[in-house]
């Protein structure tokens, strides 16, 4: 048996951290089946060179020739570029990777005595404002821009089930629904009610009876996240709120360069560090590879290679705890390669 993994470094530091994640996977040896890597193209650089950001071949190889994948990061310009649309958003849709699962946990107790963070942001990955239906019209008083925000019962229910399932496997078993239904009572209202009703679904048959449900309006959720992050276990949110919350949560554990994610569907999983392409540090060899390495571990966990995933996580946590070999985002002086070597030694 072989495990076929698509590698899509894409742009910026994605090209530095995905090779690092590959080396960590290769170091696992007999804990995994034989590994087969497929290097695949996507990204804004590719678009500027070839006019396409996500070649059909990349999607085909992922769909028909891979068991899982690792994605780096894309550089998406903040202005509209004709013909360009983000390949990661497209890939999540193409492969129906409807859940973006982002665990944020502190490794060691905070030296200032703050309580440890140990939460998962479960972000709906296919709709909300990310359907990218925007229009611009000229009115008498100037331009007018509109965006469609799509929330469906179908997508809210399946992300809700995913959140409850994840909570069930954790000690605290608590789901917090993040919304803004005091203002957006139709869209966020539907999300909130649908997720709340998950434990009563006939097909769930009492499975989630031991899971507690809380809810929090998104703005005060950010506030409480900074003041008392220990209250959160599993936070489930529509796409945009989940995106913002997970970057915010990353600040609590020291760096975006530490926070992994997987894009998960019912039949495919794609690991992806939460950070972007970091153009400010690209090409300098100083990007923190640990988010990408942890994303590889999270991918393995979803493929049920729990022991291999544990080994990687332990190695990463030891490197962080020890504190001698850290990149600059964590206050160290080490290069990407030196951190990778430190992880590999522990593997
Ligand atoms: P970013 O996440 O790339 O960077 C934010 C800050 O964190 C920067 O100062 C960066 O140097 C630092 N940082 C991020 N990852 C790091 C790492 N591994 N090691 C050390 N420092 C790290 O977000 P930004 O700057 O807002 O966006 C840059 C580009 O990335 C944009 O074009 C954006 O569209 C894209 N982006 C792509 C994402 C994706 O591919 N899923 C997610 C977020 C942003
Ligand atoms: Mg983000």
pLDDT tens for 219-235 read: 999 999 999 999 999 99
Whether residue 234 is found in the same domain as residue 132 = yes
Q: Does 335 contact ligand 1 (Cβ within 6 A)?
A: no
Q: Which residue has the higher pLDDT, 57 or 80?
A: 57
Asked whether 52 and 83 are in contact (CB, 8 A), the reply is no
Q: Tell how far the Cα of 287 is from the centroid of ligand 1, in angstroms.
A: 10
Dihedral pair phi/psi, residue 104, rounded to 5°: -125, 115
Asked whether 76 and 86 are in contact (CB, 8 A), the reply is yes
156-200: per-residue pLDDT in tens? 999 999 999 999 999 999 999 999 999 999 999 999 999 999 999
Instruction: Give yes or no for residue 8 having a pLDDT over 90.
Output: yes
Task: Tell me what pLDDT residue 115 has.
Answer: 67
CATH number at 188 reads 3.40.718.10
Site to probe by mutation for ligand 1, drawn from 80, 276, 287, 295 as the one with most ligand atoms within 8 Å of Cβ, is 276
Task: Tell me what pLDDT residue 247 has.
Answer: 87
Whether residue 91 is found in the same domain as residue 200 = no
Residues spanned by the domain of 139: 108-252
Place of tokens 């002086």: 333
How many whole angstroms separate alpha carbon 276 and alpha carbon 150?
25
pLDDT, mean of residues 68-92: 93
Task: Tell me what pLDDT residue 211 has.
Answer: 98
Instruction: Give yes or no for residue 35 having a pLDDT over 90.
Output: yes
Q: Does 280 contact ligand 1 (Cβ within 6 A)?
A: yes
Whether residue 299 is found in the same domain as residue 207 = no
* Average pLDDT, rounded, for the chain: 95
Whether residue 146 is found in the same domain as residue 219 = yes
Contact partners, residue 197, CB within 8 Å, separation at least 6 = none
Residue 103 falls within a domain, yes or no? no
Nearest residue CA, atom 6 of ligand 1?
278
Q: Which residue has the higher pLDDT, 218 or 248?
A: 218
Identify whether 243 is a catalytic site residue.
Answer: yes
Instruction: Give yes or no for residue 270 having a pLDDT over 80.
Output: yes
Q: Tell how far the Cα of 276 is from the centroid of ligand 1, in angstroms.
A: 3
Mean pLDDT is lowest, of 33-47, 65-79, 100-114, 311-325, for 100-114
Q: Does 293 contact ligand 1 (Cβ within 6 A)?
A: no
Residue 148 falls within a domain, yes or no? yes
pLDDT, mean of residues 238-243: 96
Q: Which of 197, 230, 252 delimits the end of a domain?
A: 252
Q: Tell how far the Cα of 200 is from the centroid of ligand 2, in angstroms.
A: 32
Q: Which of 226, 252, 278 delimits the end of a domain?
A: 252
Whether residue 116 is found in the same domain as residue 227 = yes
Whether residue 239 is found in the same domain as residue 137 = yes
Q: Name the pTM for this structure.
A: 0.94
Whether residue 236 is found in the same domain as residue 330 = no
Residue 102 falls within a domain, yes or no? no
Return the percentage of the chain with pLDDT > 90, whole number: 90
Nearest residue CA, atom 30 of ligand 1?
276
Q: Which residues of 277-293 are buried (b: 16+ CB within 10 A; e: fewer)?
A: bbeebbeeebbbbbbbb
Residue 261 falls within a domain, yes or no? no
Q: Which of 195, 217, 252 delimits the end of a domain?
A: 252
CA distances from 63 to 3, 91, 101, 108 (A): 14, 10, 21, 39
Q: What is the ipTM of this complex?
A: 0.96
287-325: per-residue pLDDT in tens? 999 999 999 999 999 999 999 999 999 999 999 999 999
Whether residue 183 is found in the same domain as residue 240 = yes
Instruction: Give yes or no for residue 347 having a pLDDT over 70.
Output: yes
104-157: per-residue pLDDT in tens? 999 876 666 666 899 999 999 999 999 999 999 999 999 999 999 999 999 999
Q: Does 288 contact ligand 1 (Cβ within 6 A)?
A: yes
Q: Does 287 contact ligand 1 (Cβ within 6 A)?
A: yes
Q: Number of folded domains in the chain?
A: 2
Whether residue 344 is found in the same domain as residue 291 = yes
Whether residue 211 is found in the same domain as residue 128 = yes
Q: CA triplet 14, 129, 49: central angle to 5 degrees?
A: 40
The first and second tokens of residue 325, run together, are 């070999």
Return the percentage of the chain with pLDDT > 70, whole number: 98
Q: Does 89 contact ligand 1 (Cβ within 6 A)?
A: no
Residue 219 falls within a domain, yes or no? yes
Identify whether 180 is a catalytic site residue.
Answer: yes
Q: CA triplet 139, 144, 149: central angle to 5 degrees?
A: 140
pLDDT, mean of residues 199-213: 96
Choose among 342, 261, 329, 303: nearest CA to 73. 261
Task: Tell me what pLDDT residue 107 has.
Answer: 87
Whether residue 142 is found in the same domain as residue 90 = no
* Bridge partners for 119 per DSSP: 104
Task: Tell me what pLDDT residue 254 has.
Answer: 86
């Amino acid at each position: 048996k072989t495990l076929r993994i698509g590698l899509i470094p894409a742009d910026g530091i994605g090209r530095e951290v995905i090779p690092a994640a590959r080396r960590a996977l290769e170091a696992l040896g007999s804990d995994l089946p034989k590994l087969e890597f497929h290097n695949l193209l996507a990204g804004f650089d590719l678009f500027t060179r070839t006019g396409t950001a996500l070649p059909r071949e990349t999607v085909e190889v992922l769909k028909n020739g891979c068991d899982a994948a690792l994605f780096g990061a894309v550089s998406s310009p903040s202005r509209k570029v004709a013909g360009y649309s983000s390949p990661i958003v497209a890939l999540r849709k193409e492969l129906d990777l409807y859940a973006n699962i982002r665990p944020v946990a502190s490794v060691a107790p905070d030296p200032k005595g703050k309580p440890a963070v140990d939460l998962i942001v479960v972000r709906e990955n296919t709709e909300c404002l990310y359907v990218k239906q925007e229009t611009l019209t000229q009115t008498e008083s100037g331009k007018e821009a509109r965006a469609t925000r799509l929330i469906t019962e179908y997508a809210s229910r399946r992300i809700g089930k995913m959140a409850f399932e994840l909570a069930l496997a954790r000690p605290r078993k608590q789901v917090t629904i993040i919304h803004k239904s005091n203002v957006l009572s139709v869209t966020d209202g539907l999300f909130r009610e649908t997720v709340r009703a998950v434990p009563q679904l006939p097909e769930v048959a009492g499975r989630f009876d031991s899971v507690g449900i809380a809810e929090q309006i998104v703005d005060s959720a950010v506030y409480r996240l900074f003041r008392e992050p220990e209250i959160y276990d599993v936070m489930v949110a529509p796409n945009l709120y989940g995106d913002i919350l997970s970057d915010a949560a990353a600040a609590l554990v020291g760096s975006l360069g530490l926070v992994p994610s997987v894009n998960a569907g019912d039949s495919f999983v794609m690991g992806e560090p939460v950070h972007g392409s970091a153009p400010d540090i690209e090409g300098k060899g100083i990007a923190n590879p640990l988010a990408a390495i942890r994303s590889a571990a999270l991918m393995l966990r979803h493929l049920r290679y729990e022991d291999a995933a544990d080994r990687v996580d332990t190695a990463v946590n030891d490197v962080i705890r020890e504190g001698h070999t850290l990149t600059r985002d964590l206050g160290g002086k080490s290069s990407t390669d030196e951190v990778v070597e430190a992880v590999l030694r522990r593997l």
